[in-house]
A and B are shown apart, each in its own frame.
Chain A
Amino acid sequence: MFIYSIIVATLTSLLFLTQSLKKEAMDVFIEAPELIVQRMSAGRHDLIPVGYAEKILSIPGVSSVEPRYWGYYYDNLTGGNYTLIARNIDALHMVKGTLPKGPGECAIGKGVADVRLTDLNDVLFLSINPQQKVSLKVVGIFTADSAILTNDLVVMDKNDLVNFFALPKDMATDLIVHVSNASEVPTIAMKIRRDYPDTRPITRSEIVRTYENVFNWRGGMALTMFIGPLLAFAIFAWDKATGMSAGERQEIGILKAIGWETTDVLKLKFWEGMAISLTSFLTGSILAYIHVFYFGAALFAPVLKGWSVLFPPFNPIPYIDLYQIFVIFFLTVIPYLASTIIPSWKAAVTDPDTVMRS
């Protein structure tokens, strides 16, 4: 029963965590750009000429196009990867301090602030080589509860970023296309690809679907790995049910001797299985809930973390879906019940007198 609960708890934690992140991604990324246009070169994401924007803007339905400048920075000091973004925006809720107003200022994610031991008004120094370096005054730090989105971000001025990465003139990382009518996005994406065959448009629905896919895959992958333990568990349940103690054997013998039918014993065994399953299932679910939503899935974190230096603490929002519970039920209770059928039948058909005599 203990093992049973643990198995349920592990599987449930997994689904709770993925479900919660998935739901959050769905909720949050519906505000992602409707359409992003990347340029591909030799099968890789490459810089895009800002000039592409004009022709894209002339496609009917496109309301505006803006270049986006961003890139990755590997920090030798800490071994972490930062994501550098250039955006000029006024204010945000989830930031302590302000956002960069001009060159020489930046706002950083909580993770960056922590590994670099920087605080507000400190200076963040980034350098790729002696020519490409920049020192920025930290004017804002993203709050901890936004870490899942902002943990590794460094938001800075466009000119700073262009100079720092030494981006060629009139080149951007990618283009954001704003579309006035959301249902036209696929058509516009198609037109962009026709005009510029070297581009790859990414729609918002693709971003959302990517997350749905990533988390399903992740959940599914882990569950697949769990098939081994599940099988072992089924064998264990089978074994447990077969190796009845002498006392249990005698009990069934007595029941049969006082007039119980084989079907009655089978029913009893079924209810016994259900009772065990129900208890373990409830216990497991409770444990999983506590593990994921109170302790931020602490036991899974090392696995999920991989080699990432900057890893946001999980604080998932408890979106519980009955469906998850149903899936777990299917994956645990049903194999359990199935593996106890034959042993309980064997117990049920034993002759009362052979049992009592032994």
Chain B
Amino acid sequence: MIKSKIFFSFIAIEIIVIAFLYTDANHTIAARNAEVQSKRELVRKLSLTDFAVFTEARYTRHPSQADTFSAFQDFPSSMDHFPAGSIVGPQRGNN
């Protein structure tokens, strides 16, 4: 009996925590809406196209603007030697 009580109270606590986190998430989303709006303004006015996350190579800095065979872009059969290249997948453009 005692074990089941521990289990249920544990689950109950976790559900309360999750409910709290959920409201917290909604709250944060609402609170940061203004931030998203100003980011949109930023993108529009500066005509940005990409996140400034991986700055090490040009195809990771601007994945959406990169050549279609970016992994070999520096010379034929040049290996992709940037660590971020392993997490920014290859892009398939229309051309």
Is there any pair of Cβ atoms, one from A and one from B, under 8 angstroms apart in the complex?
yes
Chain A residues packing against B (C-beta within 8 Å): 21, 24-25, 27-33, 36, 38, 40, 43-45, 68, 72, 80-83, 85, 87, 89, 92-94, 109, 111, 142, 145-153, 155, 174, 176, 193, 200, 202, 206-207, 210-211, 213-214, 217-218, 221-222, 275, 278-279, 282-283, 285-286, 289, 293, 303-312, 317-320
Known: A109-B52, A149-B51, A307-B82. A213 touches B89 (CB 8 A): yes
Give chain A residues whose Cβ lies under 8 Å from the Cβ of B11.
278-279, 282
Pick from B29, B55, B56, B66: contact of A319, CB under 8 Å: B29
Contact with A along B1-25 (1 / 0, CB 8 A): 0000001001100110110011011
Query: Chain B contact residues: over half helix, strand or loop, or mixed?
Result: helix
Give chain A residues whose Cβ lies under 8 Å from the Cβ of B47.
32-33, 68, 87, 176
Number of B positions contacting A (CB below 8 A) = 56
Q: Are A94 and B42 neighbours in the complex by a CB distance under 8 Å?
A: yes
Q: Are B36 and A32 neighbours in the complex by a CB distance under 8 Å?
A: no
Give chain B residues whose Cβ lies under 8 Å from the Cβ of A285.
18
Pick from B28, B44, B82, B89: contact of A221, CB under 8 Å: B89
Kindly provide the distance from the CB of A108 to the nearest chain B CB, expressed in whole angstroms.
12
Give chain A residues whose Cβ lies under 8 Å from the Cβ of B66.
45
Chain B residues packing against A (C-beta within 8 Å): 7, 10-11, 14-15, 17-18, 21-22, 24-25, 28-29, 32, 35-36, 38-56, 58, 60-61, 63-67, 69, 73, 82-84, 86-89, 91, 93-95
Q: Are A193 and B95 neighbours in the complex by a CB distance under 8 Å?
A: yes
Q: Are A308 and B84 neighbours in the complex by a CB distance under 8 Å?
A: yes
| 18 more CB-based (< 8 A) A-B contacts, given A221-B89, A309-B55 | A27-B40, A28-B40, A29-B49, A31-B40, A43-B67, A45-B65, A80-B55, A81-B61, A83-B55, A92-B45, A92-B46, A94-B42, A145-B35, A152-B61, A207-B64, A286-B18, A308-B54, A318-B29
